[in-house]
Amino acid sequence: IRNSDFRVLVRTACPAVLVECGYLSNPSDASLLYDTDFQDRIARSIANGIIAAL
């Protein structure tokens, strides 16, 4: 977790988060990112994080 000045994160009308779950250019990451079970785990984790932050 870190703060950055990415354009999509600054001067927004609402809170914003940039989530990077892996890189398709990395073969190990790519195989995970194409796996639907892994996608579901990522989605649930992101949703749980949002709910916890509310």
pLDDT tens digits along 14-54: 888 889 999 999 999 999 999 999 999 999 999 999 999 88
Report CA-CA distances (Å) from 11 to 15, 27, 53: 9, 35, 20
Q: Where are the domains of the chain?
A: 23-54
Read off the tokens for 11.
């001067």
Give me the pLDDT at residue 5, please.
80
Within the chain, what is the greatest distance between any pair of CA atoms? 37
Give me the pLDDT at residue 7, please.
80
Give me the pLDDT at residue 15, please.
83
Claim: this prediction has a pTM higher than 0.85: no
